[in-house]
C-alpha cells in the first residue's frame, strides 16, 4: 500500500487557527480603505464572541495606527504597493498592526497568518512572498517602528492645520487620544437613583456619565432597554445646553439625527421639531426617541431650504462637517478627508446658517455647532456670521454654562473642545472636538 493511501488526510487543506478571523478583518478593513465607514464585525460575520473581539481589535488598531503603518510600508516598499493585488494592502496592514502594536498576540502568528490570508486571496496570492519579506523585515526593525512620532498618525495637511491652531504639544496629545480610543459617554434621563453606580460610571458634568470599562455591548448595559439614557460624548452635549429660553419654547433642531441633542432639548422642557433630510437617519432618530419615550415633531426636509409655517424661539444647527473632531471614535475619518472637501462643506454650512436665521423669531437664539477640529468650519464660520448678519448679536458662553470646565472657551466666548483638553475629575479623560457659538436675533 502506498504512503498516499496509508494517509488519507494528507491532501486535506491545512487548518490554520485564527486564519478566518484575519480574513474577515482584512475584508472589513479593505471596505474601509475603499472610503466606507467602519462598522464593527458582528455575530453574522463571526459567531464566536472571542474571535469577533480579536477581529475588531485588529481592525481598530490598524485604523488607529494607519499613519504609522503607512510610514512603515513606505519605508519597506520603495516601489509602493503592488497594483491589482486584491486585499494585499488590507492583509498587510492587519498583519503589521498585530506584529508591531499587539505584541501580546504573537509575532510568529502575525507573519504566518498574514501570508496564509494572502494565499487565500486570488489576486493577493501572487505577492505572498513579497508580503512575507516585508513582515519579516518589519519584525527585525520592530523597535524603531514602535517609537514613531505621533505626528505621523495624521495626514500632513491636518498636521499643518492643527499645529498652527493648537500647537505641537497638543498634536502629540491628539495622537495619544487616537491610539487610546474613546470611553463610552452617556446622558442620564434622571440623575437620581442608583443607575450610575450600576453602570460603573463616573459623573462628569450635568447629566453626563463616563463608562471607562465595560464587558458587554451598549444595548446590554443596565437601563438601555428601558430608555433611561442615551449615548453622547460629553463635548457633544454642550451646544444644546446653551439655550436660555423659557420652558415650552419652540426649538428647531436642524440636522437632528441620530437624536442626542433632540433628546437634550426635550429633557430641557422645550417643544422640539427635529429636521433631517435622510430617510435612513430619520428612521434611526425615531427609534432612538421611541426607546427614550420622548416625543418631537419630526420633519423630513432640507435644512438649506426649509420654511416653517411658524418661526421658532431657538434654532440649533448641528451642521454637516468634516467630523474630524470624532477621530477617537471614528479613526477612519482621518483616511477619508481631503482638503478639497472642506470648501464644499463650508459652503453648505453657510447655506444652512442663512436659512436658519430666517427661521427665527425676533429675540430668538441661534446656536451653531460642528464636530470639527478645523478652524475653517468653526472659528472662521463664526466670524463670517458676525460679518454677514448684523441682526445677530453674539451671546458669549461662560465657564458656568459648561459646568465649570476650564479651557474650553476662547476670548470671543466661543466653545472649542478637542481631544487634548482634559476633563476635571479622576478620569482625566479627553473629549471629542467641537466648536459652538451662540447669537440672539435682535
Query: pLDDT tier at 112 (50, 70, 90 boundaries)?
Result: very high
Are 273 and 406 part of one and the same domain? yes
The pTM for the full model equals 0.92
End-to-end CA distance of the chain: 99
pLDDT recorded at residue 233: 96
pLDDT recorded at residue 32: 98
Q: Which three cell numbers stand for residue 6?
A: 496509508
Q: For residues 53-62, b (16+ Cβ closer than 10 Å) or e, as one string? A: ebbbbbbbbb
**246 within a domain of the structure (yes/no):** yes
Answer with the one of 148, 179, 205 that is the final residue of a domain. Answer: 148
Q: Determine the average pLDDT of the residues in 336-341.
A: 93
Give the CATH number for residue 98. 1.10.940.10
Q: Which three cell numbers stand for residue 202?
A: 463616573
Query: pLDDT tier at 157 (50, 70, 90 boundaries)?
Result: very high
**67 within a domain of the structure (yes/no):** yes
pLDDT digits (tens, 9 = 90+) for 205-255: 999 999 998 888 999 999 999 999 999 999 999 999 999 999 999 999 999
pLDDT digits (tens, 9 = 90+) for 30-62: 999 999 999 999 999 999 999 999 999 999 999
Are 143 and 34 part of one and the same domain? yes
Are 120 and 251 part of one and the same domain? no
pLDDT recorded at residue 2: 42
The answer for residues whose C-beta is within 8 angstroms of residue 15's C-beta and 6 or more apart is none
Are 270 and 370 part of one and the same domain? yes
Q: Rounded to an integer, what distance in angstroms lies between the CA atom of residue 300 and that of residue 197? A: 39
Are 128 and 240 part of one and the same domain? no
**161 within a domain of the structure (yes/no):** no
Q: How many CB atoms lie within 10 A of CB 391?
A: 11
**358 within a domain of the structure (yes/no):** yes
Alpha helices (H) in 141-246, listed in sequence order: 142-145, 156-166, 168-180, 195-199, 238-241
Q: Rounded to an integer, what distance in angstroms lies between the CA atom of residue 3 and that of residue 5? A: 5
Give the CATH number for residue 338. 3.40.50.150
Q: How far is CA 53 from CA 29, 115, 288, in A?
A: 15, 22, 26
pLDDT recorded at residue 211: 94
Are 143 and 239 part of one and the same domain? no
Are 282 and 396 part of one and the same domain? yes
Are 363 and 242 part of one and the same domain? yes
Q: What is the CA angle 56-60-64, rounded to 5?
A: 175
pLDDT recorded at residue 406: 79
Task: Return the closest-CA partner of residue 254 out of 333, 314, 186, 342.
Answer: 314
pLDDT recorded at residue 13: 53
**172 within a domain of the structure (yes/no):** no
pLDDT recorded at residue 425: 54
Are 307 and 404 part of one and the same domain? yes
pLDDT recorded at residue 170: 94
Are 436 and 290 part of one and the same domain? yes
What percent of the chain clears pLDDT 70, i.e. is strictly above it?
A: 95
pLDDT digits (tens, 9 = 90+) for 367-406: 999 999 999 999 999 999 999 999 999 999 999 999 888 7
Lowest mean pLDDT among 163-167, 200-204, 302-306, 410-414: 200-204
**220 within a domain of the structure (yes/no):** no
pLDDT digits (tens, 9 = 90+) for 242-287: 999 999 999 999 999 999 999 999 999 999 999 999 999 999 999 9
Q: Strand 184-188 vs strand 208-211: parallel, antiparallel, or unpaired?
A: antiparallel
183 neighbors 212 (Cβ within 8 angstroms): yes
Are 143 and 260 part of one and the same domain? no
**408 within a domain of the structure (yes/no):** yes
pLDDT recorded at residue 14: 67
Whether 301 shows a pLDDT value over 80: the answer reads yes
Q: Determine the average pLDDT of the residues in 154-180.
A: 96
Query: pLDDT tier at 426 (50, 70, 90 boundaries)?
Result: very low
291 neighbors 335 (Cβ within 8 angstroms): no
For residue 290, give its domain range.
Answer: 234-441
Answer with the one of 123, 148, 173 that is the final residue of a domain. Answer: 148
**376 within a domain of the structure (yes/no):** yes
pLDDT recorded at residue 134: 98
Whether 343 shows a pLDDT value over 70: the answer reads yes
Please give the tally of structural domains in the chain. Answer: 2
207 neighbors 188 (Cβ within 8 angstroms): yes
Lowest mean pLDDT among 65-74, 173-182, 320-329, 421-430: 421-430
Lowest mean pLDDT among 11-25, 89-103, 249-263, 296-310: 11-25
Whether 1 shows a pLDDT value over 90: the answer reads no
Whether 293 shows a pLDDT value over 70: the answer reads yes
Query: pLDDT tier at 317 (50, 70, 90 boundaries)?
Result: very high
Whether 192 shows a pLDDT value over 80: the answer reads yes
Are 124 and 247 part of one and the same domain? no
Strand order in the sheet with 184-188: 202-203, 208-211, 184-188, 229-231
Task: Return the closest-CA partner of residue 304 out of 366, 256, 254, 364.
Answer: 254
pLDDT recorded at residue 405: 84
Answer with the one of 122, 148, 174 that is the final residue of a domain. Answer: 148
Amino acid at each position: 500500500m502506498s504512503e498516499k493511501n496509508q494517509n488519507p488526510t494528507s491532501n486535506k487543506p491545512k487548518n490554520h487557527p485564527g486564519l478566518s478571523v484575519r480574513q474577515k478583518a482584512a475584508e472589513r478593513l479593505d471596505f474601509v480603505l475603499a472610503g466606507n465607514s467602519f462598522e464593527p464585525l458582528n455575530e453574522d460575520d463571526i459567531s464566536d464572541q472571542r474571535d469577533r473581539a480579536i477581529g475588531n481589535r485588529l481592525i481598530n488598531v490598524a485604523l488607529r495606527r494607519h499613519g504609522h503603518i503607512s510610514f512603515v510600508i513606505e519605508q519597506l516598499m520603495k516601489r509602493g504597493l503592488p497594483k491589482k493585488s486584491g486585499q494585499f494592502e488590507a492583509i498587510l496592514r492587519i498583519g503589521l498592526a498585530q506584529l508591531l502594536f499587539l505584541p501580546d498576540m504573537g509575532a510568529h502568528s502575525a507573519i504566518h497568518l498574514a501570508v496564509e490570508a494572502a494565499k487565500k486571496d486570488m489576486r493577493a496570492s501572487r505577492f505572498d512572498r513579497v508580503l512575507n519579506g516585508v513582515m519579516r523585515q518589519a519584525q527585525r526593525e520592530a523597535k524603531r517602528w514602535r517609537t514613531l512620532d505621533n505626528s505621523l498618525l495624521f495626514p500632513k495637511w491636518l498636521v499643518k492645520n492643527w499645529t498652527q491652531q493648537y500647537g505641537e504639544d497638543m498634536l502629540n496629545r491628539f495622537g495619544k487620544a487616537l491610539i487610546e480610543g474613546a470611553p463610552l459617554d452617556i446622558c442620564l434621563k434622571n440623575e437620581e437613583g442608583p443607575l450610575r453606580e450600576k453602570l460603573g460610571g463616573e459623573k462628569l458634568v450635568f447629566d453626563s456619565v463616563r463608562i471607562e470599562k465595560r464587558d458587554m455591548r451598549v444595548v446590554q448595559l443596565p437601563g438601555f432597554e428601558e430608555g433611561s439614557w442615551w449615548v453622547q460624548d460629553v463635548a457633544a452635549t454642550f451646544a444644546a445646553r446653551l439655550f436660555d429660553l423659557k420652558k415650552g419654547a419652540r426649538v428647531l433642531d436642524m440636522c437632528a439625527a441620530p437624536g442626542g441633542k433632540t433628546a437634550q432639548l426635550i429633557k430641557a422642557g422645550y417643544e422640539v421639531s427635529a429636521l433631517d433630510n435622510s430617510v435612513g437617519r430619520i428612521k434611526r432618530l425615531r427609534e432612538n426617541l421611541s426607546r427614550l419615550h420622548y416625543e418631537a415633531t419630526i420633519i423630513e426636509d432640507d435644512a438649506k431650504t426649509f420654511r416653517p409655517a411658524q418661526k421658532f424661539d431657538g434654532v440649533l444647527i448641528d451642521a454637516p462637517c468634516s467630523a474630524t473632531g470624532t477621530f477617537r471614535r471614528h479613526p477612519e475619518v482621518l483616511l477619508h478627508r481631503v482638503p478639497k472637501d472642506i470648501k464644499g462643506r463650508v459652503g453648505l454650512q453657510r447655506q444652512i446658517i442663512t436659512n436658519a436665521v430666517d427661521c427665527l423669531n425676533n429675540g430668538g437664539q441661534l446656536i451653531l455647532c460642528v464636530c470639527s477640529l478645523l478652524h475653517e468650519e468653526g472659528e472662521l464660520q463664526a466670524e463670517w456670521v458676525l460679518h454677514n448678519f448684523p441682526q445677530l448679536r453674539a451671546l458669549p458662553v461662560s465657564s458656568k454654562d459648561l459646568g465649570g470646565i476650564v479651557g474650553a472657551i476662547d476670548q470671543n466666548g466661543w466653545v472649542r473642545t478637542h481631544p487634548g483638553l482634559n476633563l476635571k475629575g479622576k478620569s482625566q479623560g479627553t473629549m471629542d472636538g467641537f466648536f459652538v457659538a451662540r447669537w440672539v436675533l435682535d
